[in-house]
Structure 1
Amino acid sequence: MEKASRGQLEELDRILPEDYGISVGALMEAAGYQVADFLRQEFSSGVKIAVICGRGYNGADGLVAARRLFSWGFEVEVFTPFDEEELSDTVVEKLEALKALDQSVVARDFPSASIYVDALIGYGMKGDLREPVESAAEKINDWSAETISIDVPTGLDIEAGTLDRNCVRPDYTVTFGALKASMTHQNSGEIYVADIGIPPQALDKVGLDSPDFFTQVSLVDIRDFE
């Protein structure tokens, strides 16, 4: 399966709103839904899920997933290691939407859970992890729980192919639109590629093949195509 480079992904992020009228917010809603639906299919609503969010787009995807799961009756807590003034406007917007459902969903301290959702850093990770993300990633790894990374495991630099010493070690990764460079089962667990509405024309424009499997299903286990 073809893998996308950071440059191709950055170009996609630029052209989708400019050339195809697909906003970042729409992509986040689709991405968060896919993660939440994966969790709904894999786990019972009786488990507790903790979504650990960064301050950028990856964190916003996690908050959308948390909102969906909460609406479906799951026990969910979200936590961010950042102060609210450090969060992007998009993350604050998604956080407020979740708080509107129930303020108690937002944890003050790092929560314990049966399942962790790693929504700290996506494909934009470069170099080594820095605080406070490094400590949050370390805590995710320290708990004996199943872990799902959103898009790319936190601590994997897809361009350099390097792993931070505290890189999140997920059991599963739900990635969006295309498999990312340097992702393997060894560093990303079981990998699923989700359709979030990226048009084939946009993929073609950045030099990526449009996946045929999205004509049949919206979430694909890449082991079926290896």
Structure 2
Amino acid sequence: MKIVTADEMREIDRVTSGRFGVPSLTLMENAGTAVAEFVLEQYPSVKRIGVICGKGNNGGDGFAVARKLHESGKEVGVTLLASNSELRGDAAEMFARLPVPAIPVSSKDELKRGPASEVFKTEILIDAILGTGFRPPVSGLYAEAIAALNASAAAVVSVDIPSGADADVMGEQTGTVARSDAIVTFTAPRPAHIFGMLTTGPILVSPIGSPDEAIISSLNLNVITPRDVVSVIGPRPPAANKGNFGHVLVLGGSLGKAGAAAMAGMAALRAGAGLSTVATAKNVLHTVAGFYPELMTEPLQQTEEGTISGKLPTRRRIDALIQGKTVLAVGPGISRHQDTAKLVRSLMSKCGIPMVLDADGL
């Protein structure tokens, strides 16, 4: 799954509507449905739910969430951090469809002491204040609302992203950011979803109508999801055997670093490979073999320091071992010995099967 920037996400939405004919209101409706379904699935026994909405499209998503939850029989309260007249476009349309009254708030006092304060006493809070298009810092009424949300005892489900977070930041967030127990975002994750430590709970990326052709990213970053691997790890034919699911050859290990090669070999089996062989320096072969009986092992000539030799007989032996293998993994525990490094470079230039380089192999 591609990781996209906030600007790219806006362009994806624009192209989805302009080129592929999916109305923006439909995207918002689908977003609201995705959040509501997540809440109903994860918190089935909850009766009272509060929805805190900003005046932008994130708030429009929140209005759709509130309507869907109300239709499912939940008691829903909605607080709007603006006046009704400030709403525009799709957000205004979703507000008009609300089956419950939304309490508008224009000051800190109204937020803390008026009827709007009741929303913070619910069991679940839906954070629909600010989305991934926002650029920090947060100030004024929105900052007060986030502070009240953070002080509440309710579980918080974020719509798109915790309010106040910068979607493009790959590290720790700064400034006022809403806490989050779960995030439901849409179409594709932004960098902060993957690298930003925004929540200790689940992050759901829900498709809402954008075709794959519209999802374009310049980051060249992807995150592996169950959808990406389901075809590989799905049910296997009853008559299948280990020879039907590939054979991984791991080249690694050295004196004092045998464990890395053994764990890489076992990881290949746990990931679904039918067979896994670890080729390692002969003086650590017994250590590798002793980790897991499922692993096959092959001894290789070694240097005086206990690393895999890069001399011609060893290279020829490795060439023979590669025959019939599906993929070659090079690097775990292999060391940075000069002779061994020459071997790795030689393999890179002539290996005829897919190769994964890791650890010292890099």
TM-score by length of 1: 0.84
Tell me how far apart the structure 1 counterparts of residues 122 and 175 of structure 2 sit (CA, whole Å).
23
Is the contact made by 1:122 and 1:154 (CA closer than 8 Å) also made in structure 2?
yes
For 1:10-159, list aligned pairs within 5 A: 10-98=10-98, 101-103=99-101, 106=103, 108-110=115-117, 111=119, 112-159=121-168
* CA deviation after TM superposition for structure 1 residue 18, in Å: 1.1
2:192 aligns to what SS in structure 1?
A: coil
Tell me how far apart the structure 1 counterparts of residues 154 and 15 of structure 2 sit (CA, whole Å).
38
1:177 is matched with: 187
Q: 1:120 to 1:38 in 2, by over 3 A?
A: same
2:140 aligns to what SS in structure 1?
A: coil
* CA deviation after TM superposition for structure 1 residue 160, in Å: 4.0
Tell me how far apart the structure 2 counterparts of residues 25 and 163 of structure 1 sit (CA, whole Å).
31
Find the structure with the greater CA-based Rg: 2
Q: 1:196 to 1:76 in 2, by over 3 A?
A: same
Gaps of 5+ in 2: 105-114, 231-362
Gaps of 5+ in 1: 217-226
* CA deviation after TM superposition for structure 1 residue 122, in Å: 0.6
Tell me how far apart the structure 2 counterparts of residues 206 and 4 of structure 1 sit (CA, whole Å).
5
1:168 is matched with: 178
* Residue from 177, 188, 200 that aligns with 2:199: 188
Which letter does structure 1 place at the counterpart of 2:162?
Answer: P
* CA deviation after TM superposition for structure 1 residue 96, in Å: 1.7
Percent of aligned pairs sharing the same letter: 28
Q: Per-residue displacement from partner, 1:188-212 (whole Å, max 9, x unpaired)?
A: 3321111112101111x45587978
Q: Per-residue displacement from partner, 1:23-76 (whole Å, max 9, x unpaired)?
A: 110100100000000011011254211010011111111110110010010111
* CA deviation after TM superposition for structure 1 residue 164, in Å: 4.2
TM-score by length of 2: 0.54
Q: Cα RMSD (Å) of the superposition? A: 2.5
* CA deviation after TM superposition for structure 1 residue 87, in Å: 2.0
Q: Which moved more, 1:56-65 or 1:4-13?
A: 4-13
Q: Which moved more, 1:125-134 or 1:53-62?
A: 125-134
* CA deviation after TM superposition for structure 1 residue 130, in Å: 1.9
> Aligned pairs, how many?
212
Tell which has more relative contact order, 1 or 2 (C-alpha 8 A, sep 6+).
1
Q: Which moved more, 1:63-72 or 1:186-195?
A: 186-195
Runs of 4+ in 1 over 4 A off after TM superposition: 105-108, 205-212
